[in-house]
Amino acid sequence: MPLNKIYKALKRRLTPPPIIQDETSILALGKLLSNQQWSMNSKSINDYEFKIFSQFGDDGIIQYLIKHLTIENQTFVEFGVENYQESNTRFLMMNNLWSGLVMDGSEFHISSIKQRPWYWKHQLAHKATFVTRENINELMEEAGLSDIGLLHIDIDGNDYHVLEAMDFSRLNPSILIMEYNSVFGMERSISVPYRPDFIRTKAHSSNLFFGASISALHHLADQKGYALVGGNLAGNNAFFVRKDLLNSRIRECSLANAFRESQFMESRDENFQLTYLRGPQRLNAIRGLEVLNVISGKTEIL
């Protein structure tokens, strides 16, 4: 049985329902689901999905990957975490005792991390900074990290450009997770044009113009030595693994197998109120805007 179904079944059995808000119970549930993966033999990473602190089923995918990859250093870097309450590395830190660095552009969000009751228990570095392609390598050098286990980029904007600028010769992550914009589709290798001060909510009132297509990220990851191994069912994160670490359980997959059209409805109007656009309506809302073809290097019209 896929883990997302197991999760729902177990969650229903927790009584009274408010107990799911208790982080001790949530962590125990996550450990149970993680251990359950050992008894599964599915070849689809989506069957291993479950959510503990991730936005969607990424916690389960990450647990599956670290079980079947040889990872020397149990360290991570994740940026675009807001207050770290919902993130892709928090369960990894609390369940598997990985250490790492998180960054976000908001001083308010980052400063709140120290107030969490679990903060003192873990080796978590944090920094409030607006990440750009101009400062990313300096930030990584300051952190003193090398040969890390996992890198996750989710900044809702210049994701492609920051990844392109990153020097992997030292950082050398085993697992790379990139957020993609499914509204851009799968066929075109495109990204928003680079602007150091890019902010998604200001780029276009719809809140749908950001990031890059999965094919653009796949093109760049391949150049950096990473293979696409899947994407989450929610249709917003693509998972890549360093090619020298691939094995019989963790294999390269096609774009078609990894891509999902996202089902969540996060479009906004000029007053930043949700408009719940879906399907083709989302692309129509941003049609006509300029995007960068990352292969040709030329701007195109969306």
Point out the least confidently predicted range of 5-9, 12-16, 79-83, 190-194: 12-16
Task: List strand residue ranges (DSSP E) for 165-231, in order.
Answer: 175-179, 190-191, 226-231
Lowest mean pLDDT among 20-24, 200-204, 268-272: 20-24
pLDDT band at 14 (very low <50, low <70, confident <90, very high): very low
For residues 1 and 295, give the distance between their C-alpha atoms in angstroms, rounded to a whole number.
41
Distance separating alpha carbons of residues 287 and 262, to the nearest angstrom = 18
Question: Going from the N-terminus, what domains does the chain have, and what CATH number goes with each?
Answer: 70-301 (3.40.50.150)
Asked whether the predicted pLDDT for residue 97 surpasses 90, the reply is yes
Note the pLDDT tens digit of each residue in 222-261: 999 999 999 999 999 999 999 999 999 999 999 999 999 9
H-type alpha helices, the chain: 3-13, 23-36, 58-68, 90-96, 107-113, 136-143, 159-165, 168-171, 200-203, 214-223, 255-258, 280-286
Whether pTM exceeds 0.85? yes
Tell me how far apart the alpha carbons of residues 267 and 272 are, in angstroms, rounded to a whole number: 9
